[in-house]
A and B are shown apart, each in its own frame.
Chain A
């Protein structure tokens, strides 16, 4: 019987594995975004264009150094300055469009999903609203919707920016000097493996904070629901002790997650520096041999900076992506719940109205 009611309000769900594949969820969210397709297309294009123009400025420096300043070809500034300004301003305009359009899409999509959930909650069987399930049902249109909102606003945009920056930087670097590019990127696989490996621990620690947080929330809810009893029995201290214990667990778990979550950054920064050293060592010699120009050497160091961190960020936004997908799945669970029974209402109560 209960199986036919959908799955959203089972008690074990926090531990439950996701069953709906990501692409299905993404396609369904896209259905919601369709109403704002123009904003979406403009926003995504602007995001990518913004990332690419952002990569333009190190290359422009290389040109200024190699073609204008070093050969004392000052008249070059006549075209260089407007071009540089155009790239920088273009980058600004793209960022503006991207932030605004993605906000329009994100807010509207989440709002529509929330509306659908609220509509559905008004008609599904009252069986859902049994004691003990309330907290979980409430968190669908509140916590889960917020997770998705934040993901679309921040996470999704940064994923787009990161991917475009990385691909753009790779393309430009390969174009500038293939051998130096390969040398510079030699440390990359190590860094990615490291982040992925340590990320496992970080995800486990993060899950632990979620569990302690929901424990703390449940504790708080119960204590407040029973506050009159606690006051009537003058047991504030006793109840408070339990609350503080549950809070301490949460604090400990969070501090641990912060420790693990940030522990891989020194390694990643260290590896990036090894990359920079390789560039400087081979690059300086190459400049002296005349194999590359000084401008290209400087541009390489900057590009090393502009693809390395986005790549690490990308790996670490995996968590954010996962939790957004889980939240989306749970929201669709509510929206998809079948309305099987229209609860019979006592006739008398209508007359009361």
Chain B
């Protein structure tokens, strides 16, 4: 039953929302938002002001040295070639050119390197902040956002930010300084010609800005779609079995094609705008050279202004500087392009970093030791959305060492209830106390370390069995680990492996059965020898033999501990001291097995159906054999 619900959810939640999302992306003006994202990015730069200082100094040096070659070629034309010609000056000029060139090359190299170092530091800072924030997010956050999505934001999206960070400052400074230095050189030679050659600059600036404003929303949409498309593919591949069972292959593939079409069309529209504006800057600049020639021709026409070679040299200098300027201008417009992609990527990363944490330490929280393990819930109300409570006014008390089995239909709030105790979610009203102390008085880490938790999803980290069992207590002794494994009824199996406790599990390790994995996770919960134990339903997917294995592990593990266990099967329920039946977020029945049978209510019905079902299954098996 649960399996079915899950499958339906997987499919419904991928194809249609993605399509709706992609269609809902309207190309709006993203200029101001982009500016605030940029300011945010600048904050990450602050720590590295010393690197920025170095970049600025290097950029000035680089721009000066870059401008020297045309200037000395100009000097060669007017002084060496003349007239009057003077070849003795040539070696000196050539020496300056080569030295300036070497200086340029070295400063350029150092600048690229320093810039690269800064970009890696900043990417590291952003990713660390992102990672830490994810570690602090509540279960509801992690239930709603997939691992693949979160990982691709930290890798693919951050790489876009990285690409921008690698060069942006150097490129901008290069354009600014080179323009200033070139103007400073040519202005004394001819103010009017300087004015003419720079006349095109406002147009270039206008069109570059125009390109940016027009394409930015499109690129942003593209980046957002491709991010979602990646998650869609991941979910499809991860859930391939489910897709096959429900024969939704065609829907998945068609849904993908539809979104891909939207992407391709957006990319081509953006390409069209880009292709109009991008080459425009250098083109306008080059056309400006014609203006310089026309002016030169005009002065030549004035009677009495005889043309000297020196003037030809001037014209060549102006023309060459304008050709040189087209490189920084082209680079700036490319950097603006990388910013658009980086902005979309940064937005996707910060969206997660900034999402609320939900569960946090109170300022006066303390390390408190759980001595006995008495648990009291009083009028507890909780919901994932404020107006739709999952649990309503739940009140009950569990004595130290008592074991409570929790029953209820899917969606009755069973998991939510037990996960409130280690504060994986926070309650909205009421209170939860352990040994009389409100759980909010505990530091989160202190609370969680003292409550053993067995989650529904069996998850082992890649590493050895030993490391996995000792996960909650990295300094656990071998005795403690073995003790936990014995309680979880997995010790004998581990010993039977060639490498024993040092056997690797996970991607590169041995393959364990579901029951073996489950018992290792039980051992992991026991290694800290907690006074309290919380166990989610761990038997819903397993076969009868595995059920038996796990069952005996549970019995041993829960002997002396205050335990809340979600149970689907009667085998679990019968070992519990008390049974709690949840119905639509409220307690329907609470008491011992005998009490509830006598009550003749929901529990009795469930008990009978399960028993009948089990009986019929046994009969079926016998018939089959």
List residues of chain A with CB under 8 Å of any chain B CB: 57-58, 61, 64-65, 68-70, 72, 74, 77, 80-81, 84-85, 88-89, 91-92, 95-100, 103-104, 107-108, 111, 114-115, 118-119, 121-123, 126, 129, 131-132, 134, 137-138, 141-143, 146, 213, 216-217, 220-236, 238-240, 243-244, 247-248, 251, 254-255, 258-259, 262-263, 265-267, 269-270, 272-274, 276-277, 280-281, 284-285, 287-288, 294, 298, 301-302, 343, 345-346, 349-350, 352-353
Residue from the list B247, B267, B276, B293 in contact with A64, Cβ < 8 A: B293
Q: Which residue of A lies closest to B256 (CB)?
A: A118
Q: Which of B30-74 contact A (CB under 8 A)?
A: 69, 73
Q: How many B residues touch A, CB cutoff 8 Å?
A: 125
The contact sample of 16 A-B pairs, CB cut-off 8 A, is A68-B297, A81-B290, A103-B268, A107-B263, A107-B267, A118-B257, A126-B244, A224-B150, A228-B455, A233-B472, A247-B128, A277-B97, A284-B76, A301-B73, A345-B247, A349-B245
Q: Knowing that A107-B263, A234-B444 touch, tell me 9 more A-B residue pairs with CB under 8 angstroms.
A: A65-B312, A69-B307, A99-B278, A141-B233, A220-B150, A228-B455, A240-B131, A266-B108, A345-B244
Residues of chain B contacted by A231 (CB below 8 angstroms): 135, 139, 424, 448
**B90 part of interface (Cβ distance < 8 Å):** yes
**Contact of B147 with A by CB under 8 A:** yes
Once the chains bind, are B94 and A281 in contact (CB under 8 Å)?
yes
- Choose, from B188-196, B315-323, B565-573, B603-611, the stretch at the interface: B315-323
Min CB gap B152→A, angstroms? 7
If A115-B257, A229-B455, A284-B80 touch, whether A262 touches B263 (CB-CB below 8 Å) is no
Q: What residues on B are CB-neighbors of A141 within 8 Å?
A: 233
Q: Which residues of A contact B253 (CB under 8 A)?
A: 115, 118-119, 122
Select one of A98, A115, A227, A294 contacting B134, CB under 8 A. A227
Q: Is B365 an interface residue (CB 8 A)?
A: no
Chain B's closest residue to A265 (CB) is B109
User: Is B552 among interface residues, defined by CB-CB distance under 8 A?
Assistant: no
Q: Is B615 an interface residue (CB 8 A)?
A: no
Evaluate contact between A232 and B455: CB separation under 8 angstroms.
Answer: yes
Which of B109, B249, B275, B280 contacts A123, CB < 8 Å?
A: B249
Contacts of A353 in B (CB 8 A): 246-247
Q: Is the CB–CB distance between A276 and B283 below 8 Å? A: no
Q: Are B312 and A294 in contact (CB under 8 A)?
A: yes
Q: Check if B87 is an interface residue, CB within 8 A of chain A.
A: yes
Q: Which of A99, A222, A266, A343 contacts B461 (CB 8 A)?
A: A222
Chain A residues lying within 8 Å of B131, measured Cβ to Cβ, are 220, 223, 240, 243
Nearest chain B CB to A229 CB, angstrom units: 5
Flag if A258 contacts B113 (CB, 8 Å): yes
Which of the residues B104, B127, B233, B275 comes within 8 Å of A95, measured between beta carbons?
Answer: B275
Report whether B461 and A129 are in contact in the complex, using a CB–CB cutoff of 8 Å.
no
Contact of B250 with A262 in the complex, beta carbons under 8 Å: no
Q: Report A-chain residues with C-beta under 8 Å of the C-beta of B98.
A: 273-274, 277
Contact B120 A254 (CB under 8 A): yes
Let me know if B471 is at the binding interface, CB within 8 A: yes
Asked if B422 is an interface residue, CB under 8 A from chain A, the answer is yes
- In the assembled complex, the CB of A74 is this many whole angstroms from the nearest CB of chain B, namely 5
Chain B residue, CB-CB nearest to A100? B275
Docked complex Cα distance between A324 and B241 (Å): 31
Report the minimal beta-carbon distance from B239 to chain A, rounded to whole angstroms.
9
Which 4 A-B pairs have CB atoms at the shortest separation, nearest pair first?
Answer: A103-B271, A233-B472, A99-B275, A258-B116
Q: B445 touching A234 by the CB < 8 A rule? A: yes
Given A81-B293, A92-B279, A273-B101, the answer on whether A122 and B243 have CB atoms closer than 8 Å is yes
A57 in complex: contacting residue of B106, B286, B451, CB < 8 Å:
B286
- Contact A77-B294, Cβ < 8 Å, known A88-B286, A107-B264, A122-B243: yes
A138 with B312: CB separation less than 8 A: no
* B283→A89 contact, CB < 8 A: yes
Q: Is the CB of B301 within 8 A of A74?
A: yes
> Which residues of the partner chain A approach B123 to less than 8 Å between Cβ atoms?
251
Residue ID in chain B nearest A298 by CB atoms: B316
Chain B interface (Cβ < 8 Å from any Cβ of A) = 4, 69, 73, 76-77, 80-81, 85, 87, 90, 93-94, 97-98, 101-102, 104-106, 108-109, 112-113, 116-117, 120-121, 123-124, 127-128, 131-132, 134-136, 139, 142, 147-148, 150-152, 154-156, 166, 226, 229-230, 233-234, 236-238, 240-241, 243-247, 249-250, 252-253, 256-257, 260-261, 263-264, 267-268, 271-272, 274-276, 278-280, 283, 286-287, 289-290, 293-294, 296-297, 300-301, 307, 309, 312, 315-316, 319-320, 323, 422, 424, 444-446, 448-449, 451, 453, 455, 457, 459, 461-462, 471-472, 474, 506-508, 521, 524-525, 528
CA–CA, A136 and B322, complex, Å:
49
Q: Name the B residues within 8 Å of A97 (CB-CB).
A: 275
CB neighbours (8 Å) of B135 from chain A are 227, 230-231, 236, 239-240
Report A277 CB to chain B, min CB distance, Å: 5
Instruction: Find out whether the CB atom of A258 lies under 8 angstroms from the CB atom of B112.
Output: yes
Known contacts being A229-B455, A255-B116, A352-B4, is A269 close to B108, with CB within 8 Å? yes
Closest to B166 in A: A258
Residues of B within 8 A of A115 (CB): 253, 256-257, 260
Contact between chains at A216 and B155 (CB < 8 Å): yes
Cα A281 to Cα B80 in complex, Å, equals 11
User: Which of chain A's residues has its CB closest to B454's CB?
Assistant: A232
Minimum distance in angstroms from B609 CB to a CB of chain A: 20
Q: How far is the CB of A317 from chain B (nearest CB, A)?
A: 15
Contacts of A284 in B (CB 8 A): 76, 80-81, 87, 90
Q: Flag if A229 contacts B471 (CB, 8 Å).
A: yes
Measured in the bound complex, the distance between the Cα atoms of B236 and A247 in whole Å is 28
B448–A233 CB distance below 8 A:
yes
Report yes or no: A121 in contact with B112, Cβ–Cβ below 8 A: no
The one of A69, A131, A254, A280 in contact with B296, judged by C-beta atoms closer than 8 angstroms, is A69
What separation, in Å, do the CA atoms of A287 and B78 have in the docked complex? 12
Q: Assess A224 versus B151: contact at CB under 8 Å? Given A65-B312, A142-B233.
A: yes
Nearest B residue (CB) for A120 = B253
Q: Say whether B69 contacts A276, CB under 8 Å.
A: yes
Task: Specify the chain A residue showing the minimal Cβ separation from B266.
Answer: A107
Is A236's CB under 8 angstroms from B136's CB? yes
Cα(A68)–Cα(B459), bound, Å: 81
- In whole Å, how far is A150's beta carbon from the nearest beta carbon of chain B? 10
CB atoms of A270 and B101 under 8 A apart: yes
The answer to whether A280 and B155 touch across the interface, beta carbons within 8 angstroms, is no
Q: Tell me how far the C-beta of A198 lies from the nearest C-beta in chain B, rounded to whole angstroms.
A: 12
A264 to chain B: closest residue by CB: B109
Option from A92, A103, A235, A262 in Cβ contact (under 8 Å) with B471: A235
A146 to B445, CA, bound (A): 41
Partner of B274, one of A69, A99, A142: A99
Q: A258-B117, A273-B97, A280-B94 are in contact. Are A100 and B233 (CB under 8 A)?
A: no
Residue of A nearest to B159 (CB): A213
A65 to B300, CA, bound (A): 13
Partner of B312, one of A70, A248, A273: A70
* Contacting residues, chain A, for B455 (C-beta < 8 A): 228-229, 232
Contacts of B252 in A (CB 8 A): 118, 122
Contact B124 A251 (CB under 8 A): yes
Docked-complex contact A232 and B448, CB < 8 angstroms = yes
Using CB atoms, name the residue of chain B closest to A99.
B275
**Cα distance, A64 to B186, chains bound together (Å):** 20
Q: Is there contact, CB below 8 Å, between A69 and B73?
A: no
Chain A nearest CB: distance from B502 CB in Å? Answer: 19
Contact of B241 among A57, A126, A273 (CB under 8 A): A126
**Of the residues B69, B76, B293, B507, contact of A132 by C-beta under 8 Å:** B507
B309 contacts which chain A residues (CB < 8 A)?
A: 70, 294
Q: A115-B260, A126-B240, A251-B121 are in contact. Are A100 and B271 (CB under 8 A)?
A: yes
Q: Which residues of B contact A236 (CB under 8 A)?
A: 135-136, 445
Which residues of chain A come closer than 8 Å to B69, judged between CB atoms? Answer: 273, 276
Chain A, residue nearest B101 (CB): A273
**Contacting residues, chain B, for A227 (C-beta < 8 A):** 134-135, 142
- Which chain B residue shows the least CB distance to A301? B73
Q: How far is the CA of A193 from the CA of B342 in the complex (A)?
A: 35
